[in-house]
């Protein structure tokens, strides 16, 4: 019993970081939960005093289970745009101790599995190259190359600006009101000229299969949604992945319809909108 308590106590001390790592690697809260359960089960079955460097043992276990999950996905064709699974603060407060912003998760999609692991172990855990190389099973030179490529890929789309939380909420509410009223001129004041909508229905619900780009196209898309559903849609502003998110409910289905996450540019205009509609990806939002 004492050994079990020791395992659990040590694991709980590491859980927050491990959870953040698994979530950022897989971009799925559901997969991250499963990975942590599997890792703990394996960890608890071994005498703690016989595990050299227990923290690294856990990190290595999480990384390689993440590799397995990502490798399994390669054979699966996803219909349309595949966006990360969002989470709200109340469900996963431990994740909020780490950088799990939605903007970062989207950027991480640019990286392959090894690049993602090397980048996260370096940036989130501050491991040295030799430690990362050992955890990922690559050479130190290869580790440096992966990190260099990862940073190059992420730099091209790095989000450099974010209004204050209060400003984000005020602008988001005004933007939603403009959508509901169908006022094109009003909407133009809130949207960047290069605005793009990315919608993920997962083949289960209606969603644009390709990004909707440009102010005119985006406004037509948003007004079309408002006209179709009318007063059936209601919203609440919530903290989603460290961003100001919008939870949209449909009174006709009495369920969560969409998780919307707007990102802003340095002119205080919305430059990107992520709309997650796949029901399987909203399990940890409601």
CATH number for the domain that contains residue 9: 1.10.1740
The domain boundary residue, chosen from 38, 60, 76: 76
In a domain, 155, yes or no: no
In a domain, 143, yes or no: no
Q: What is the spatial distance between Cα 54 and Cα 18, in angstroms, rounded to a whole number?
A: 12
Q: What is the spatial distance between Cα 231 and Cα 227, in angstroms, rounded to a whole number?
A: 9
Residue 97 is predicted with a pLDDT of 73
| DSSP tag of 181 | H
In a domain, 263, yes or no: yes
In a domain, 195, yes or no: yes
* Residue 198: domain span: 165-281
| DSSP tag of 233 | E
Q: Three-state DSSP class for 268?
A: coil
- Say how many domains are in the chain: 2
Rg (Cα) of the chain, in Å, rounded?
21
Residue 207 is predicted with a pLDDT of 93
Q: What is the spatial distance between Cα 217 and Cα 233, in angstroms, rounded to a whole number?
A: 21
The domain boundary residue, chosen from 52, 76, 100: 76
Residue 7 is predicted with a pLDDT of 85
> Going residue by residue through the chain (286 aa), what tens digit of pLDDT does each one get?
556 678 888 998 999 999 999 999 999 989 999 999 999 999 998 888 888 899 999 999 999 999 999 999 988 899 999 999 999 878 887 777 778 889 899 999 999 999 999 999 998 888 999 999 999 999 999 999 999 999 999 886 555 567 788 888 999 999 999 998 888 999 999 999 999 999 999 999 999 999 999 999 999 999 998 888 878 889 999 989 988 999 999 888 878 999 999 999 888 899 999 999 999 999 888 7
Residues near 264 by Cβ (< 8 Å), separated by ≥ 6?
A: 161, 162, 163, 168, 171, 270, 271
In a domain, 96, yes or no: no
Question: Does one domain contain both 274 and 176?
Answer: yes
Q: How many residues does the chain have?
A: 286
Residue 108 is predicted with a pLDDT of 94
Written as six digits, the tokens of 269 are 């205009």
pTM of the model: 0.91
Q: What is the spatial distance between Cα 21 and Cα 44, in angstroms, rounded to a whole number?
A: 20
Of 230, 247, 250, nearest to 239 by C-alpha is 247
In a domain, 224, yes or no: yes
Outline where the chain has alpha helix (H): 2-26, 29-44, 54-73, 102-108, 113-123, 129-136, 140-155, 165-181, 184-188, 215-229
The domain boundary residue, chosen from 22, 56, 76: 76
In a domain, 17, yes or no: yes
Residue pair 81/198 in contact (Cβ under 8 Å)? The answer is yes
Residue 161 is predicted with a pLDDT of 60
């Amino acid at each position: 019993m004492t050994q079990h308590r020791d395992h659990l106590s040590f694991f709980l001390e590491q859980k927050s970081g491990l959870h953040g790592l698994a979530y950022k690697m897989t971009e799925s809260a559901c997969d991250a939960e499963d990975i942590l359960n599997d890792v703990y089960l394996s960890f608890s079955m071994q005498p703690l005093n016989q595990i050299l460097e227990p923290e690294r043992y856990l990190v290595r276990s999480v990384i390689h289970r993440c590799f397995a999950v990502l490798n399994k996905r390669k054979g699966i064709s996803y219909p349309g745009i595949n966006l990360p699974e969002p989470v709200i603060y109340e469900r996963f407060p431990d994740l909020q101790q780490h950088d799990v912003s939605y903007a970062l998760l989207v950027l991480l999609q640019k990286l392959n599995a090894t690049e993602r692991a090397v980048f996260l172990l370096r940036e989130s855990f501050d491991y040295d190259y030799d430690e990362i190389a050992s955890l990922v099973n690559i050479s130190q030179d290869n580790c440096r190359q992966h990190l260099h490529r990862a940073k190059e890929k992420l730099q091209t789309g790095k989000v450099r600006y974010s209004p204050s939380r209060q400003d984000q909420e005020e602008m988001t509410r005004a933007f939603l009101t403009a959508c509901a009223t169908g006022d094109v001129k009003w909407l133009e004041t809130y949207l960047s000229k290069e605005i793009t909508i990315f919608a993920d229905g997962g083949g289960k619900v209606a969603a644009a299969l390709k990004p909707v780009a440009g102010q005119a196209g985006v406004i037509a898309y948003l007004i079309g949604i408002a006209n179709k559903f009318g007063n059936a849609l209601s919203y609440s502003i919530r903290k989603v992945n460290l961003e100001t998110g919008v939870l949209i409910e449909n009174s006709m289905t009495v369920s969560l319809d969409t998780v919307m996450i707007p990102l802003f540019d340095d002119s205080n205009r919305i430059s990107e909108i992520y709309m997650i509609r796949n029901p399987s990806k909203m399990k940890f939002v409601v």
